[in-house]
Structure 1
Amino acid sequence: MDKFTTLTAIAAPLNIDNIDTDKIIPARFLKTIKRTGLGKSVFADMRYNADGSDKADFVLNQEPYRKAQILVAGDNFGCGSSREHAPWALLDFGIRCIIAPSFADIFFNNSFKNGILPIALPEDICAKLREDAAMGGNARLTVDLERQMVVRPNGEEIPFQVDPFRKHCLLGGLDDIGLTLEHAAAIDSYESKIPAWTPKIQGA
């Protein structure tokens, strides 16, 4: 998992409440267990016409938002089913941070596990950030995880809260496997002390 430290990037304004996981990645794209290749299908029903052409009025089909790495969304983002493909698809598109007034719990947890930082801020602040984002590519937002600050283009700093353990994981680029490997020396030490007569799993 890639580390998340400080991100200065184009932010896309998506002022829609209750965007569920089926809108993020429709069920027909859930045939894969790979984490890559889903970015082209993120928000598919909102991005594309029936013939596969782009919907010109959808924000991620517009410049400069095709290269957005931050999404400033509406309330209750990621509601609906618990599909982990939703953060996979957003990450594969390039989104590393989502700012919204609130998130569905399962999506919120899955985002951290996949290297995406979800930030919950009051609606009035989100509205200001969406206005900043609407200014285009020259008005980039900065998200400083170490300092827990979102920095607006005008220099205003907005503090945000994040669980210390999740912050540690993102700063270190640690998924569940990475967290386990942090204890590799202790695991090796333990295994070296297991008696030779201990039953082993065949093939281990």
Structure 2
Amino acid sequence: MEKFTKIRAVAAPLPMTNVDTDMIIPQNFLRTIERTGLGKHAFTNIRYFDDGSENPEFIMNKPAYRDAKILITGENFGCGSSREHAPWALMDMGLRCIIAPSFADIFYGNCFKNGLLPIKLPQEVIDDLMADADKGANAVFTVDLENLEITRPDGEVVKFEMDGFRQHSMVNGLDDIGITMEKGAKISEFEAKQKAEQPWLYK
């Protein structure tokens, strides 16, 4: 998993509540187990017209936001089904951080497993950040996970909170397998001891 320490990027404002996983990546694109290639299908139903052409009103189709790596959005983001394809699609379209007042629990957990940073902030702070993001490509944010800080375009610093274990995992690029492998020496020690005491288990 790619490490997340600090990014400096444009943020796209998406002032919508209850954005569910079917809006993020519709079910007809769930046939793959690959984590790449889904980005072009993210937000399909509001990103494209029926003929496949781009909807110019969709925020990330606008020139100022095509390279956005941060999405600022409304409460209960990622609700609906528990598909892990949702964070895959968001990552593949270039996003690294989602900032919202609240997230659906399963989506929130899936983000950390895939290197997509979800940040919860009070609605009044979200409103301020949304107003910043509305200014377009000149409004650049810095998200610093190591220090749990967001620096707004005007230089003001906003602090956020995060579980220490999840912060450690993201900063070091550790998914579930990586976290397990951190204990590699202890696992090997246990296996050697078990093999000596219960050799029949290894036959």
Under TM normalisation by the shorter chain, which class is it? over 0.9
Deviations for 1:39-63, whole angstroms, at most 9, x for unmatched residues?
Answer: 0000010101111100010001111
1:3 matched to which residue of 2? 3
2:111 matched to which residue of 1? 111
Deviations for 1:114-138, whole angstroms, at most 9, x for unmatched residues?
Answer: 1111111111111111111111122
Deviations for 1:144-166, whole angstroms, at most 9, x for unmatched residues?
Answer: 11111111000111111100000
Gaps of 5+ in 1: none
Name the aligned partner's letter for residue 112 of structure 2.
F
Return the offset for 1:192. Answer: 2.4
1:184 matched to which residue of 2? 184
- The two structures have a TM-score, normalised by structure 2, of 0.96
SS in 2 for 1:31: coil
Choose between structure 1 and 2: higher helix proportion: 2
2:124 matched to which residue of 1? 124
Name the aligned partner's letter for residue 162 of structure 1.
M
Structure 1 CA distance, aligned partners of 2:200 and 2:96?
45
1:199 matched to which residue of 2? 201
Q: What does 1:162-181 align with in structure 2 at a 5 Å threshold?
A: 162-181=162-181
Structure 2 CA distance, aligned partners of 1:109 and 1:186?
26
Deviations for 1:89-136, whole angstroms, at most 9, x for unmatched residues?
Answer: 001111111001111111111111111111111111111111111111
SS in 1 for 2:7: strand
Is 2:136 the counterpart of 1:136?
yes
The CA RMSD over aligned residues, in Å, is: 1.2
SS in 2 for 1:45: helix
Structure 2 CA distance, aligned partners of 1:172 and 1:115?
10
Return the offset for 1:22. Answer: 0.3
Is 2:102 the counterpart of 1:99?
no
Name the aligned partner's letter for residue 39 of structure 2.
G
Structure 2 CA distance, aligned partners of 1:48 and 1:186?
51
1:42 matched to which residue of 2? 42
Structure 2 CA distance, aligned partners of 1:67 and 1:26?
22
Name the aligned partner's letter for residue 199 of structure 2.
W
Structure 2 CA distance, aligned partners of 1:198 and 1:174?
34
- The two structures have a TM-score, normalised by structure 1, of 0.95
Structure 1 CA distance, aligned partners of 2:141 and 2:17?
21
Deviations for 1:59-101, whole angstroms, at most 9, x for unmatched residues?
Answer: 0111121111100001111111111100010011111110011
Q: After alignment, is 183-192 or 104-113 more displaced? A: 183-192
Is 2:68 the counterpart of 1:63?
no
Structure 2 CA distance, aligned partners of 1:200 and 1:188?
14
Name the aligned partner's letter for residue 51 of structure 1.
D
Aligned-pair identity (%) = 55
Structure 1 CA distance, aligned partners of 2:186 and 2:179?
13
Name the aligned partner's letter for residue 168 of structure 1.
H
SS in 1 for 2:8: strand
Name the aligned partner's letter for residue 5 of structure 1.
T
Q: How many residues align?
A: 201
Name the aligned partner's letter for residue 21 of structure 1.
T
